[in-house]
Structure 1
Amino acid sequence: MSELPTGPVAAEIHRRLSAALAPTRLAVIDDSESHRGHAGHDGAGESHFTVEIESAVFAGQNRVARQRAVNHALAELLRDKIHALAIKAKAPGE
């Protein structure tokens, strides 16, 4: 089950994570508005995100390995479009 994102960057995050990690649950939350006036917020939005992802790929992996898998799937976006990303990754049943 996935919650569909609204903006183009959020949609691209959703697409890339779906393709790379086959999640059973995926939520991409745009936190940009709550960071207005902070570093990395340019007023355009879609710069700060929280990703909540559940995937069988994460079974047996520690938190660091899970975050690396997410970061790897989003590497280009992290370099060019995303200023901050909070990751909540778990395996099914956790």
Structure 2
Amino acid sequence: MTDPATGPMAQRIADRIVAALAPTRLDVSNDSAQHRGHMGDDGSGETHFSVAVESAAFAGLGRVARQRLVNHALADLLAPGGIHALVIRARAPGEDA
């Protein structure tokens, strides 16, 4: 799971995904430094993220349905002024990475 030292937005992302999807694995990466000065960079250092999440909630669902579940869990954080970009890798337990 995500280390709280990675920043408050990363922790909020992790907390919301844990509450909504009860993941068996979760990694939240702050990619903001790679996008410094690009569109969506507000200078906070917490605008661009990647999540890799494994959850039984994804079993039997396609890629788009899985991404919708993650987006729903993070809806208020994805609103304007929040997360600018989010890469989602979602799988069910037992699936290949």
**Smaller-chain TM-score bracket:** over 0.9
- Does the 8 Å contact 2:54/2:93 carry over to 1? yes
Deviations 1:11-62 (A, max 9, x none): 0000000000000000010000000111001221110000000000000000
Q: Give the TM-score normalised by the residue count of structure 1.
A: 0.95
Partner of 1:3: 2
Q: Give the TM-score normalised by the residue count of structure 2.
A: 0.92
Which has the larger displacement, 24-33 or 37-46?
A: 37-46
Structure 1 moving runs of 4+ over 3 Å: none
* Bigger share in helix: 1
Question: Does 2:96 align with 1:73?
Answer: no
Query: Any unmatched runs of 5+ in structure 1?
Result: none
Partner of 1:12: 12
Identity %: 65
Query: Any unmatched runs of 5+ in structure 2?
Result: none
Q: CA RMSD in A?
A: 0.9
Q: Which amino acid aligns with 2:74?
A: L
Question: Does 2:62 align with 1:90?
Answer: no
Shift of 1:7: 0.4
| Number of equivalent positions | 93
1: distance between equivalents of 2:56 and 2:21? 8
Shift of 1:3: 3.3
Q: Which amino acid aligns with 1:15?
A: D
Partner of 1:50: 50
Where 1:27 maps in the other structure, the secondary structure is strand
